[in-house]
Amino acid sequence: MKDYIEERVLALADYIITTNSTVRAAAGKFKVSKSTVHKDVTERLHEISPSLAAEVKTVLDVNKAERHIRGGLATREKYHHNKENL
């Protein structure tokens, strides 16, 4: 694996763990695609540091479990905002 990829993988993992970030937020922060972030933290990170990969997996599992709640809140806010503008 190239050095710059390994550095990015470790930086992504650190960012996700410290901020409890979502894949989408991490992708925006590092200006890479969501697919790249996902591949980095699920496949490549496991090769570099299995213990760090387990920590990231814990954060991503929590985010996955909560995503339907965040989506519902976003929809609620969208329609609440639309009512105010009418």
Which has the higher per-residue pLDDT, 14 or 74?
Answer: 14
Higher-confidence residue: 67 or 18?
A: 18
Residue 85 pLDDT? 67
Which one, of 50, 8, 1, lies nearest residue 26 by Cα?
8
Helices (H), the chain: 3-19, 23-30, 34-39, 45-48, 50-84
Q: Give the global pTM.
A: 0.79
Mean pLDDT of 9-25: 96
16: its two tokens: 């996700």
Q: Is the pLDDT of residue 78 over 70?
A: yes
Token digits of residue 13: 């993992």
Q: How far apart are CA 28 and CA 33, in angstroms?
A: 8
